[in-house]
Amino acid sequence: MAVKVVMPKLGMAMKKGEVSVWNKKVGDPVEKGESIASINSEKIEMDIEAPESGTLLHIKVKEGEGVPPGTAICYIGENGEEVREKETPAPENEGKPQAEPENIPAPKAGQKRKHRVKISPVARKMAEKAGLKVDTLNGTGPGGRIVKADVIKAMKTEAEPQSSVQTAQPEGKPASAMRKVIADRMHKSLQNSAQLTLTMKADITELLKWQRQLADSAKKRSGVKLTVTHFVSRAAVLALKQHPELNSSYQEERIITYPYVHLGMAVSLENGLVVPVIRDAEKLSFLELADHISTSARRAREGNASGDDLRGSTFSITNLGGYGVEHFTPILNPPEAGILGVGASYETPAFKGDELVKSTILPLSLTFDHRVCDGAPAADFLKTVKTLLEEPAGLIL
């Protein structure tokens, strides 16, 4: 007699179950324990296994059709056997694939169930359509179940052309001693201070005229080629004398304000960054300061700067203008309370009174330690730097 397979009950609240996909068609041979269909109810999904070996004689429920638990969905029996329906499933067996009691033989001792592949209905359909063998796929779903993503991955692998050229792997190399020092200092700087950055723009149109006028004289007197950085450095030194809060540091819950300006000038090297220090910069004239900056930068690039040349700064300046950067966020050079960033200058139309003229603008970025001073005094310092750059006579005289 044919064995009836019913819709199991997948949960206490289940009213209907739906056949997602039939893995066999009428007339196909099936083996006991083999998955013949997949069914689902809301978010629950499972496979239906054949309770007996034989032939799939009749399919009562089509794919996508929902029926109550206990409803016969198919019959399995001998090839050519006539199906006689009998819709009287026993209540205690509701929720499981059922066979008529008289047709269920007692299990044989030591009998093993044939291994089946756990795969979702959608994944099985996709695999079959793509010609993939499900038993060769790796399942990443719960309990090793093969899901849609696993089939898609296998399909991509099949589609990729085989190449004898191996994909380049990322390479790692030990950080240089200089890189380690920079990484350590910058990390500690951000961890141990409250950093905030303000930006402002200075009109350096007049300053550039002074630069051109003084270029020959400076070259003859001290061999220095004047740059905008020299003017900015001078402006920063003079502004620090007016706003000593930025020439300070926060150490052991005390604010230490320095009576001198040891100016750090960041210099980029091929394998890192160093900050040569111009000591007692407030005592130097404009041309003396420019000469010290140029000399210390050259020594640093040639690798001739000593340890003392790179220690003890109270305020620093860094310039990224040569790289086309305008505003940026410099990181404090510990234990300093301030660092001034110089960006790339650019030309723009501006009004001078009622007249529209071409002006050159220099972006400035000031990072300061909020533990030492607040935004207002930091802004006052930056405004003083701006004013000095826009009235360059005060830098020279």
Higher pLDDT, 54 or 118: 54
221 in the same domain as 100: no
Q: Which of 342, 326, 388 shows the shortest CA–CA distance to 228?
A: 342
246 falls within a domain: yes
- Compute CA 161 distance to the chain's CA centroid, rounded to the nearest angstrom: 30
CATH no. for residue 77? 2.40.50.100
How many domains are contained in the chain? 3
Q: Are residues 74 and 186 in the same domain?
A: no
Res 184: pLDDT: 84
Question: 């093993």: which residue's tokens?
Answer: 112
Cite the active site residues.
Answer: 370, 374
167 located within any domain: no
Q: State whether 143 and 275 are in the same domain.
A: no
- Phi, psi at 151, each rounded to 5°: -70, -45
Please check whether residues 331 and 259 belong to one and the same domain.
Answer: yes
Shared-domain flag, residues 347 and 219: yes
DSSP β-bridge partners for residue 356:
351
Q: What is the CATH number of the domain that holds 141?
A: 4.10.320.10
Contact 272, 179 (CB under 8 A): yes
d(CA 265, CA 186): 16
What CATH number does residue 242 fall under? 3.30.559.10
- Going by pLDDT thresholds of 50, 70 and 90, the confidence category of residue 173 is confident
> Which one-letter DSSP state was computed for residue 95?
T
Reported as a pLDDT band with limits 50, 70 and 90, residue 292 is very high
| pTM of the predicted model as reported, rounded to 2 decimal places | 0.58
- pLDDT of 242-273, one tens digit each? 999 999 999 999 999 999 999 999 999 887 88
What is the mean predicted confidence (pLDDT) over 351-362? 91
Residue 114: its pLDDT value, please?
Answer: 45
Same domain, residue pair 354 and 207: yes
Task: Please report the pLDDT score of residue 115 as a whole number.
Answer: 53
Residue 275 covered by a domain: yes
* Crossing angle of the two packed helices 286-301 and 228-242, in degrees rounded to 10: 120
Residues 137 and 207 in one domain: no
Asked whether residue 163 is domain-assigned, the answer is no
Residue 143 included in any domain = yes
Indicate whether 324 and 236 sit together in one domain. Answer: yes
Structural domain for 277, as ranges:
177-396
**Considering the domain boundaries, does residue 58 fall inside one?**
yes
Instruction: Determine the residue type at 59.
Output: I
- Alpha-carbon distance of 238 to 8, in angstroms, equals 87
Same structural domain, 21 and 60: yes
- Taking CA atoms, 5 is separated from 45, 100, 241, in Å, by 17, 9, 94
pLDDT at residue number 42: 59
Residue 138 pLDDT: 86
What is the per-residue pLDDT across 41-58, written as a single tens digit (0 to 9) for each? 755 667 888 999 999 999
Clarify whether residues 218 and 94 are in a common domain.
no
